[in-house]
Amino acid sequence: MRDVYILAVNFKVYPSAFGRRALEVVKAAERVAREFEGTVSVIIAPPHTEIARISSSVERVIVYAQHVDPVEPGAHTGSVPVEAVKEAGARGSLVNHSERKLRLDEIERVVERLKVVGLEQLVCADTPRAAAAIAVFEPTYVAVEPPELIGTGIAVSRAKPEVVTKAVESVTRVSPNVPVLVGAGIVSREDARRSVELGARGVLVASAVMKAADPYAKMRELAEGLAPRR
Ligand SMILES: O=C[C@H](O)COP(=O)(O)O
């Protein structure tokens, strides 16, 4: 069986992450997911406020939350427990993004709570060492992202290839079944292709898609980098 690669698009709170513009990005993601069915899975992570509407409008695209709080439903004003994103229609959540960090014990708790309610977990780590510590919890995916490259357009797979190879190596040693994704500065087909060559099973991107004049063309380009079409 062929490997399926992951194209994960974090909407963050870019202007295109909300309302009508977000739906355009979603439509583009859906088109790419259809075109690459069986070779690339497309995950999108819109803001919490958009999850319900977006989840009900997708067929092939997988919708994740950008973050969940390590709390149970109850008296926690402004918090987002895992049950809330599940109820809204999400299939999983990013955890510990470097713009929304958690302590290691909180990561463990959130991963466990997501598993209990049947949601996937894409947990971010800023170093290979952190990736290995997180892989012990056996999340669905670990994504390694050097924070200093995020949003720069300087791809981790080009500028710091050793971060990718080390993360793949150390995660595989701890939990051989946990796929490693890479992110930070990935903007082109070549960046995505290089990530796969270094052992990654996919990429986590944001600005390249959310700032693109044509999000469909950009996502298709990245998907082609992950899984070139014959
Ligand atoms: O969640 C996405 C990452 O932080 C990468 O962001 P970026 O593609 O804008 O560098």
Q: Angle CA(201)–CA(42)–CA(57) in degrees, nearest 5? A: 165
Return the SS3 of 23.
Answer: helix
pLDDT tens digits along 171-195: 999 999 999 999 999 999 999 999 9
195 is in an annotated binding site: no
How far, in Å, from the CA of 166 to the mean position of ligand 1? 20
| Beta-strand pair 141-144/180-183 | parallel
Domain boundaries, the chain: 5-226
Residue 19 annotated as binding site: no
Tens digits of residue pLDDT in 36-87: 999 999 999 999 999 999 999 999 999 999 999 999 999 999 999 999 999 9
* Residue of 148, 205, 211 to test ligand 1 pocket, by largest number of atoms within 8 Å of CB: 205
Please, which pLDDT band fits residue 229 given cuts at 50, 70 and 90? confident
Residue 1 in this model has a pLDDT that exceeds 60: no
Buried b (16+ CB within 10 A) or exposed e, 82-109: bebbbebebbbbbbbbeeeebeeeebbb
State how beta strands 40-45 and 5-10 pair: parallel
- Cα of 19 vs centre of ligand 1, distance in Å, is 21
Specify the pLDDT at position 227.
95
Is the pLDDT reported for residue 27 higher than 60? yes
Q: What percent of the chain has pLDDT over 90?
A: 97
Q: Is 5-226 assigned to CATH 3.40.50.300? A: no
Q: Tokens 């490259």 belong to which residue?
A: 149
Q: Note the pTM of the prediction, 2 decimals.
A: 0.97
Of the candidates 212, 213, 193, the residue with the CA atom closest to the CA atom of residue 203: 193
Q: Tell which atom from ligand 1 comes closest to the C-alpha of 99.
A: 4
Q: Is position 130 annotated in a ligand binding site?
A: no
- Look up the ipTM and state it: 0.99
The residues assigned a catalytic role are 97, 145
Candidates 93, 96, 99, 145: which one to mutate for ligand 1, based on the most atoms within 8 Å of Cβ?
145
DSSP label at residue 138: -
